Amino acid sequence: MGDLLQPMHLFIVAILIAPITVIVLPPFWVIFKKAGFQPILSVLMMVPLVNLAMLYFVAFSEWKAEPAQKL
């Protein structure tokens, strides 16, 4: 029964999680950067329930970014 966290199982889980991380993190990195927050906060979007809190935090906080100037 204690065979759940064998190294091979952890390796398979890492192989499955890596592509999801590569797909999910870059858009959030750019969103946080454009909103004026530290882009490293995008890593928190991979943590369940914390990602919902971060989404509300970003959505309802005052953004430090300035609008783009028209030419």
Tens of pLDDT along the chain (71 residues)?
A: 566 678 888 888 889 888 888 898 999 999 899 888 899 999 999 898 999 999 899 889 888 766 666 66
Query: How many CA atoms within 13 Å lie on the side-chain side of 19?
Result: 4
Q: What is the pLDDT of residue 62?
A: 86
**35 contact partners, CB below 8 Å, separation of at least 6:** 58, 63, 64, 65
Q: What is the pLDDT of residue 71?
A: 62
Q: What is the pLDDT of residue 34?
A: 87
Other beta carbons within 10 angstroms of residue 35's beta carbon come to: 16
Residue 9 C-alpha from the chain's centroid: 24
Q: What is the pLDDT of residue 2?
A: 62
Q: What is the pLDDT of residue 17?
A: 87
